[in-house]
Amino acid sequence: MPLFPLGTVLYPGLPLPLHIFEERYRQLVRDLLDGPEPREFGVVAIRKGSETGVDGISALYEIGCTATLRQVVEHEDGRFDMVTAGTQRFRLASLDHSRPYLQGEVDLLAEDTGDDAAAALAARAVQRAFRDYCVVLATKGGGTEVTIPELPDDPVPLSYLVAASIVVDLPDRQALLAAPDALRRLAAERVLLSRETAMLRTFTSAPAPGLRYTPWNPN
């Protein structure tokens, strides 16, 4: 599978817009467009290193997410703007450096809820905690508008939506992606939400969500 290492985490069901300007990733997009649908590649977060430059990446996280190409616009100079959507988690088994961009052997991971009854209870608790978090975030944001999305009741999509929305550092976001099931992901999110809400109530200013979720990623 073609791989796109990034300094962020993609979750199943969540969108990811990308601006493609490096030649190796232009080639990746051209190869995708020449191939059959669904046109998919793997997004995996960078553990050590940076997004730009072949020598900039020294380590990747093991768990990533496939991205399906939804829209693409090619510019006259060969750059691409595209919109992708997270599809399915995978475990990275090995890397292949034979092409200009990274490829990898991946094992797709099944989507597991965990204990259904416990997951339903956890989902309701996380819904309440997330709404409280958003209210406090808006209060501390100095007039910044924080929109609370409509929260699904299904534990799996709820767990990914909340994971994508919390303003936390990359290791925490990656740990949520790597959780083996929705129940354990929701349990971890409840802890994170409690921690972050308490911190927001203590501090006089809030983190800047917009800086963490920039719509375009350099590559």
pLDDT reported for residue 215: 37
3-108 belongs to which homologous superfamily?
A: LON domain-like (2.30.130.40)
**Joined tokens for residue 161:** 């939506």
Tell me what the mean pLDDT of segment 153-160 comes to: 97
Residue spans per domain, the chain:
3-108, 116-210
pLDDT reported for residue 214: 35
pLDDT reported for residue 55: 55
Strands 80-96 and 63-74, by their bridges, are antiparallel
pLDDT of 54 higher than 60:
no
Single out the residue of 182, 165, 163, 183 nearest to residue 173, CA to CA: 163
**Joined tokens for residue 115:** 């204990």
pLDDT reported for residue 213: 38
